[in-house]
Amino acid sequence: MLKTVHIQPNINTPSTHKVLIIYTGGTLGMTYDKKQRNLVPFAFEQILRKVPELRDLACELTVVSFEKLIDSSNMKPEIWIQLAELIGQYYEEYDGFVILHGTDTMAHSASALSFLLEGLRKPVIFTGAQLPISALRTDARRNLLTSIEIAIAKQGENALVPEVAIFFNDVLLRGNRTRKIESSHFDAFHSENYPELAKVGIHIQYNHKAIHEPNALDFLKVHTKMDNQVAILKIFPGMNERVMRGFLEIEGLRGIVLETFGSGNAPTDKWFIKAIQDIVERKIWVYNVSQCIGGLVMQGRYATSQAFADLGVVSGKDITTEAAIAKLMFLLAQDLPETQTKLRLAHSLRGEMS
Ligand code: ASP
């Protein structure tokens, strides 16, 4: 069930654009409950009281609020699909979309949506806040207002940012290149392997070269399937053979994002290589991503990654773990022939890898 609020701009501000805001939960929309003595989600119908400036934007807003607001730790593929379907449903009616989301798993959700929304030509901007909108020093107000400005920014007829992005603390980043790197300071997100799409000061400075350019023939295709028979395995010095072999016992497992050292390296112990071989032979995809924030996986560069290249492990190059796990869920749900899955894992689908 969804609740909807319409916000008309002040009469003296001519409204030429329409934005759909989808409120899922997270810190941004929390308020302090004196009785409960903790932070609870506030009813989004009261948004105008908290951010009266919303009426000054030259833009008509519709806020769709999830009835059950969630901390983004409870995000899951069913909700990503629901979000993608909502955007599909209202795609023609609105110029852009803003998704209010908790910061903890925002990078996962932005990655997932980038895959589910193929041929996107309009902005889908994720934002949230480190401090609730009711807090004195909140970052919620400016994150929200600027996200809306970005969602309506145009170049002629076309959207300036026709892709899924995260706007936070004055930077706009490609959603599937972003990681949450900070839980205390306002600069919560970072994209090490891809440049910022825009920087906000007095003006919004768009980095046009980095922004996705849609093909004239692109039309939106909303995918509505994800397969979560996947796992992330982060290797570490001293890892126990039984932990590794435990993955072979998981019934129905179809893919593993293997977080390796440096440029894709791992131990050369016989038991480790045998376990990888058994996993690959079991037709479980192994997608090699680096534990480093920057740089890329280069299988075969060191002897410690040669076995991966020989065994058919797929290199994720400079993809983030967040994007890699979402991509696996998305691709496995397509049930493509093996060669096609491999090709898509190895190459960029939505600008998630170089
Ligand atoms: N735990 C919260 C969430 O991700 C944190 C936040 O919103 O920033 O929903």
List pLDDT tens digits, range 71-97. Answer: 999 999 999 999 999 999 999 999 999
Q: Is 2-222's fold the same as 230-346's? A: yes
Establish whether residue 27 lines the binding site of ligand 1, counting it when its CB lies within 6 angstroms of any ligand atom: yes
HSE-CB of 149 using CA atoms within 13 angstroms: 19
- Quick one: pLDDT at residue 1? 60
User: 23, 24, 27: which to mutate for ligand 1, most atoms within 8 A of CB?
Assistant: 27
Residue 335: predicted pLDDT = 94
Give CA–CA dist 95/159, Å, rounded. Answer: 8
Q: Residue 167: its pLDDT value, please?
A: 98
Cα-to-centroid distance, 72 and ligand 1 (Å): 6
**Residue corresponding to tokens 């969630």:** 70
Domain range summary for the chain, segments of one domain joined by +: 2-222, 230-346
Q: Is 27 a catalytic residue?
A: yes
- For the segment(s) 230-346, the CATH number from 3.30.420.10, 3.40.50.40, 3.60.15.10, 1.10.1660.10 is 3.40.50.40
Kindly report the number of other CB atoms within 10 A of residue 68's CB atom. Answer: 10
Q: The domain at 2-222 falls in which architecture?
A: 3-Layer(aba) Sandwich (3.40)
Q: CA-CA distance, 178 to 171, in Å (whole number)?
A: 11
Residue nearest to atom 1 of ligand 1 (CA): 71
Q: Which residues fall within 8 angstroms of residue 124, CB to CB, at 6 or more apart?
A: 87, 96, 97, 99, 113, 117, 163, 164, 165, 175
pLDDT of residue 45: 75
Per residue in 11-26, pLDDT (tens digit) is: 676 678 999 999 999 9
Q: Is 185 exposed, middle or buried (0-12, 13-18, 19+ CB in 10 A)?
A: exposed
Q: What is the distance in A from the centroid of ligand 1 to the CA of 70?
A: 9
What residues contact residue 308 under an 8 Å CB cut-off, 6+ apart? Answer: 260, 264, 266, 276, 286, 288, 299, 300, 315
Residue ranges of the chain with per-residue pLDDT less than 70:
1, 11, 13-14
pTM of the predicted protein model: 0.95
